[in-house]
A and B are shown apart, each in its own frame.
Chain A
Amino acid sequence: MEAWGVALIKVVFIWAWTLIIATLMTWVERRGSAMIQDRLGPNVCGPFGILQPLADGIKLFTKEDIVPEKAKKILFALGPIMFALPAFSAYAVIPFGDKIVIGGKEIILQVADVNIGFLYIMAIGAMSVYGIVVGGWGSNNKFSILGGLRSTAQLISYEVPFGLALLSVVIIYGTFSLREIVLHQQGTFLGFLPNWGIFKQPLGFILFIVTAYCEANRVPFDLPEAESEIVAGYHTEYGSMRLGLYLFGEYVNMYTLSALMVTLYFGGWHIPYIDMSKFLGPVAYGIASFLVFFLKTCFFLWLFVWVRWTVPRFRYDQVMSLGWKSLIPLALLNLFITAFLVQLTI
C-alpha cells in the first residue's frame, strides 16, 4: 500500500488531465469536422479558436436553467450526474504510464491497480446508460423517452460482444489486472511482430472497437441522440450546464475507451522493439512512458472524430441485427478459437 497522499495526487492529476483532454476534444472535434468538410471551424476565439470550449462552458453556465413543468424533477436532475460520474470514475483502473521514481520512492502511474480492473470497467461502463435512460424518462418528452429506450436496446445488443471480446483477452493473459496485461505486452511475438494484443487478437480488436463506438454513443451508433430522427434524443429537454455535462461525459467516455484500446491491444506504454527503461533514467522513463501512452491514445481519439464525420448512422434495426446476428456469433467464435489455441500451447 502506498501513502494516501500519493494516491490523492494521482486522483487529482488524472481527474484534471481527463477534464483538460475532454475539453480540448470538443475543440478537436469541431476543427476536425471543419477540416473534413472543407471549412475552417471556430477560429476567432483565441489562437486557432482553442478557447472555444471555454466560451461554450461560460455560456452554458450562465444560461437559464429550465426544468419542464411536467418533468419528474428528481430524475431530471439525476440524469446528467448519473451519466457523468461513471464516465469520470472509469479511468481509475487504467494505467496511464509505467512507473516513476521520485525521492527514492517508486510510484506506479495508475490510480488503483486492482486485480479486477476488467470487471470494474465493464460494470462502470454499463452504468452510464442509466444516466441516459433516467434523463430521457425524467424529461417526460416523447423524443427523450425514445432516445432512452433506444439506448437500453443498444446496450443489451452490444454489451454481450463487448464482454466476450474482453474475455478473450483475459484468456490469453490470464489476469484481470490491466497493468499486468500491459506488462505482458513487452518484447516480440513470433520473433518479428511487437508483442501487442492486436496481433494475438485481430478479430477481437475489430469486435472491441465496434462495440466501443456503440458504448460511447458515437456515430455510426448514435441512435439515442439521432438528430435527424428524434430532435436531440435523450437530452432534448436539457439546456444550460446539464446539457454540458451530457456532452462532456461523452468525450470523457471516448477518452477512457481510447485508453482501454491502447492498454489491451496496442501495448500500453511500450514502444515496439525498444525497451525505454534500459537507457532512460527513472524520472525520464516515467514521463516518457506517460507520453507514449498518451500519444497512442490521441490516435484513437482522433479515430473517433474521423469516423464520426465520415460514415452515416445505422438504422435502428440494422444495429440490432448487427449486434445479435453478426457480433455475438463472431465474438463466440473468437472466444472458442482463443481458448482452443491457448489450450494447445500450454
Chain B
Amino acid sequence: MADNKDNNSGVIKGPGWILTKLEWLINWGRKRSPWPFPYGTACCGIEMMATLASGYDMARFGAERVSFSPRQADILLEAGTITKKMVPVLRRIYDQMAEPKWVIAMGACACSGGVFRSYSTLQGIDKVIPVDVYIPGCPPRPEGLLYGLLKIIERIEKDHPLYKEAMKFKESEGGRICNF
C-alpha cells in the first residue's frame, strides 16, 4: 500500500479542505431535500399521511414531493406490516431506488414483526433490506416519524460521500497503478 511505502511524501491523510467543503455542500443538498417514497402497508400508513398533512407537515424539512416512482425517491418510508408475499415487492422497490438511499422502518411490525408473530409475517424488514432508522410504536405518533427523519438528516450530515469513493478507488486496481 502507498501509505506504508512513503510516509514523508506529503500525501494528506484523510479528506483535505476542498474535499470536505464539497462534501459539506453535497450533504447539505441531500439532507435538505430527502424525498420520501411512501410504502404504507398498514395502519402506520395513516400516521405517515398525518405527518405529511397540515399540523405536522413533514414538508418543512424538504421531505416533500412524495414520489410514487422509486427512481425519484431518497428515503424508503416503510410504514406497516410486511407479509411474506410482500417481501419480493419490498426488495424490488429497494433495488429500484437510486443511490444514495435511506430506509426508515416505521412501527413495531416493520421493526420486528410486532404482534404478528405468525407464519405469514416477516419478522422485521431488516431481514431483507438494510434499515437506517427504526421507529418503535404501534403505530408511532407523527412526532416519532419526524424524530426519525431528523435522525436520518443527522446521519446524512456525518456521511463522507466523496471520501468513501476515493478510498474505494484507492483500494481498486486503478488506484494501485497511479499510486494514489
Contact = CB atoms under 8 A, between A and B. Distances in A.
B20 interface: no
Contacts of A240: 98
B72 A39 contact: no
Contacts of A231: 68-69
Contacts of A55: 28-29, 32-33, 62
A333 to B, nearest CB: 41
Contacts of B69: 231-232, 235-237, 239
Contact of B100 (A38, A39, A63, A232): A63
Contacts of B54: 37-39
Nearest to A144: B69
A41 B53 CA distance: 10
B29 A57 contact: yes
A57 B61 CA distance: 15
A41 B72 CA distance: 20
Interface string A52-75: 101111110111111000000000
B62 A42 contact: yes
B29 A44 contact: no
Nearest to B61: A44
Interface string B46-78: 000000011001011110100111011010000
Given A63-B99, A239-B98, A43 B60 contact: yes
A37, A42, A49, A227 — most chain B CB neighbours (10 Å): A42
A32 to B, nearest CB: 12
Contacts, number: 94
Contacts of A30: 59, 64
B100 A64 contact: yes
A interface SS class:
loop
A210 interface: no
Nearest to A52: B62
Contacts of A54: 29
Contact of B161 (A43, A62, A236): A62
A255 interface: no
A69 to B, nearest CB: 12
B99 A59 contact: no
Interface string A196-235: 0000000000000000000000000000000100011001
30 contacts: A37-B54, A39-B57, A39-B59, A41-B57, A42-B60, A42-B61, A43-B60, A52-B33, A54-B29, A55-B28, A55-B32, A55-B33, A56-B33, A56-B62, A58-B28, A59-B29, A59-B33, A61-B29, A62-B29, A62-B161, A63-B74, A64-B100, A65-B98, A66-B71, A227-B68, A231-B68, A232-B67, A232-B68, A239-B69, A239-B98
Nearest 9 interchain pairs by C-beta = A58-B29, A55-B32, A239-B71, A64-B99, A64-B98, A232-B69, A38-B54, A39-B57, A239-B98
Interface of B: 25-26, 28-30, 32-33, 53-54, 57, 59-62, 64, 67-69, 71-72, 74, 98-100, 161
